[in-house]
Structure 1
C-alpha cells in the first residue's frame, strides 16, 4: 500500500468531490481515480461509490478513513521531527493555552525556553480548557494551560494562579459604567453561557455562585466561541461571562464590549499546567521548568517521579 494512495483517498473522503480532491493533492482527476482504483485493488474492497449526483464512502471506506488519518498524521509528525533534527532542533513540545495562560505565563516561559533550550521547538495552540484537556489525554498536546484541575490519574497538574470571572456587556448596556455588580443582580438579566464541555471549571464556578446566592440565571443561548461572545454582547442587551484577562482584552479592542467585576461572591477559577502523568520527555520537562522559572529542576513529583531539566 503506497502512502500517496492514502493521501489521495483522504482528500476524496474529506471533499466528497473528485475535482476538489484532485486540486487539493495536485493531481488530475484521471490520476486521482487511478490511485483510488489501485488502492481498492490492493485492499480487495470498494472504498468510494460515485454517481452523477454524489460521492460517498462505503462502510469499508469509512473504516479505512479513520485509520488512514492516523497513519498520515503520524508520518507527517515523523517527517517534521526529522526536518527539525536536520535543522539542529532535537526536541519538540506541543503546548495548548487559553488567554490567561498567554497573558500571564507564556511570554516569559517562551523567552526562558529560547535562552535555555534553543534546540527544542515549541508548537502553540490556543483552545478552551475542555478541548485542551482532551488533547493532552489523547496525545495531541504535551502541556496545557487550562482552567481547573483534571479529574483523572492519567494527567498530572500544577496550580499556577486564581483568576476572577467577570460579566461582559456591551457599551450600551446599563452596567457598562458600573464599577461592579453583585452576582444576585444577574437574576434580572438575559445571559449567554458556553457549553460545560468547553470550560468545565469556569462553568461550574458560575453555577456555584448562582446556587450560593439563590440566583436563577436566565440563559438565553449558548455561545462557545469567545470572539462570538464579545460580538453578541456588543450588539444585544445580554450578559456574557469571561475571565478577567479576556474581559480586559475585550475592552482594549474597542469593539463595543466591556468587563464588569462581579461581587458577593466573585466567582473564580484556577489556572493549572497539565501534562500526561509519567511523561519523561526532555522537551516536556524543559518547558515545565521554564514555566516555573526553575533552571535547576522542577520542585514537584509526577506519580512519584521527580521531573528535572
Structure 2
C-alpha cells in the first residue's frame, strides 16, 4: 500500500477552509485540476468520500468533518518537527510567532518584547498584526504559536490566560455636556451621535457594543464609522459626535480640546487573552505563556504596592 502523501492532507485542509476548488487551488499555488487529482487520490487511499461537490458548492461529508481536524493536527506536528529541527541546526535558535490585533494594549506589547526565558536564551519573537478573526484562524491552523485575542468568544480548541481587562472609553469635546459626568453609560449615548470602529474590524466587539450601549437610538442621532482613533478625533473635533474607543486609542487623541471618560456598562469590557492551541505540545509555548502571565501579575502587584506606600 502506498504511503499517505502530506500534499493530500494539505489539499484536504485548505479545501475544507475555502469550500471552493478555485480559491483552494490559488491558496495552494497549484492548478485546479491538480487539486482535484490530490483530493481523489486521498479519497481513494482512504476508501472514503470526504467532499461532496456539485456545480454550485463544495461541502464536507460526515467522514470529512471528522477527518479534516485530525489532518490539520498531523500537518501542524509535521511542520513543527521540521521547524524545530531546523532551529536546532541553527544553534538552537527558536522563533515564536505571535499575533496581535489593533486593540492590543501597548503595555502588553512592551512587556512581551522585553520578556526572556532563561531556559531558551536564543528565543526570538516574530510579531504580526491582524484583525481578531484572522488571528483566531491563524492560531488554529498553526500559522501562529500564540496570539493576543481581544473580545473573542472562548473555544475548547484554544487555551488562554487573561492578561488585560479594561473598559471602553468615550472621547468628546471638552465643552460637551457629557464631560460633566465622571463616567458615561448607555443612557448618555442614546441621545448623541456616536463614532464607532467599522464592524469588520471586530464583529464580536462591535455587536456587543451596539447591544449594550445602544448608540443612536433617538431621532436625529446616527452612527459614524472609522478605522483608527486618529480618524475618530477629526469627527469629534468637527462636532459630529462622541467616539467610543479603546483605552490606548482614547489616550492618543485626548488633547487639543478633546477629553475622555470611561464607558461604564455592566458586562462590556475589553478582555484580552494570550492564547495558544489547546493541543499545543511545544514546551517553549507553555513556558512562555506561564512565565509571561506571572511577570504581568508581579508587575501589577508591584505597582499597587508602590501606590499604597505613597499614601
TM range (shorter): 0.5 to 0.7
| 1:188 positional shift | 1.8
Does residue 24 of the first structure (1) align with residue 30 of the second (2)? no
In the alignment, the residues of structure 2 paired with residue 133 and residue 227 of structure 1 have an alpha-carbon distance, to the nearest angstrom, of 20
What corresponds to 2:56 in structure 1?
54
Does residue 282 of the first structure (1) align with residue 281 of the second (2)? no
1:1-309 → structure 2 map (5 Å cutoff):
1-51=4-54, 53-59=55-61, 60-89=63-92, 91=94, 95=98, 97=100, 102-113=105-116, 118-124=121-127, 144=148, 165-168=168-171, 175=173, 178=176, 180-182=179-181, 183=184, 185-191=188-194, 197-198=204-205, 218=216, 227=227, 237-249=240-252, 260-262=259-261, 281-288=286-293, 291=296
In the alignment, the residues of structure 2 paired with residue 190 and residue 25 of structure 1 have an alpha-carbon distance, to the nearest angstrom, of 46
Contact kept, 8 Å, 2:149 with 2:275, in 1: the verdict is no
| Consecutive unaligned residues in structure 2, runs of 5 or more | 303-311
- CA deviation string 1:255-303 (max 9, x = no partner): xx996312797999687776799x9843334444665788xxx999xxx
Give the total of aligned pairs.
Answer: 270
Contact kept, 8 Å, 2:76 with 2:141, in 1: the verdict is no
Contact kept, 8 Å, 1:131 with 1:198, in 2: the verdict is no
Contact kept, 8 Å, 1:99 with 1:245, in 2: the verdict is no
Alpha carbons of structure 1 residues 70 and 251: separation in structure 2 relative to 1, 3 Å: farther
Contact kept, 8 Å, 2:101 with 2:130, in 1: the verdict is yes
| 1:6 positional shift | 1.4
In the alignment, the residues of structure 2 paired with residue 143 and residue 85 of structure 1 have an alpha-carbon distance, to the nearest angstrom, of 24
In the alignment, the residues of structure 2 paired with residue 119 and residue 180 of structure 1 have an alpha-carbon distance, to the nearest angstrom, of 50
- CA deviation string 1:110-145 (max 9, x = no partner): 135399954123354657899999999999765758
- CA deviation string 1:230-279 (max 9, x = no partner): 76786694434222311234679xxxx996312797999687776799x9
Alpha carbons of structure 1 residues 99 and 58: separation in structure 2 relative to 1, 3 Å: closer
Q: TM-score, normalised by structure 2?
A: 0.56
Contact kept, 8 Å, 1:181 with 1:261, in 2: the verdict is no
Alpha carbons of structure 1 residues 274 and 34: separation in structure 2 relative to 1, 3 Å: closer
In the alignment, the residues of structure 2 paired with residue 130 and residue 12 of structure 1 have an alpha-carbon distance, to the nearest angstrom, of 19
In the alignment, the residues of structure 2 paired with residue 73 and residue 155 of structure 1 have an alpha-carbon distance, to the nearest angstrom, of 19
Contact kept, 8 Å, 1:8 with 1:25, in 2: the verdict is yes
RMSD value, Cα: 5.6
SS at match of 2:261: strand
In the alignment, the residues of structure 2 paired with residue 27 and residue 136 of structure 1 have an alpha-carbon distance, to the nearest angstrom, of 24
SS at match of 1:88: coil
Alpha carbons of structure 1 residues 292 and 106: separation in structure 2 relative to 1, 3 Å: farther
Alpha carbons of structure 1 residues 63 and 187: separation in structure 2 relative to 1, 3 Å: same
In the alignment, the residues of structure 2 paired with residue 99 and residue 19 of structure 1 have an alpha-carbon distance, to the nearest angstrom, of 31
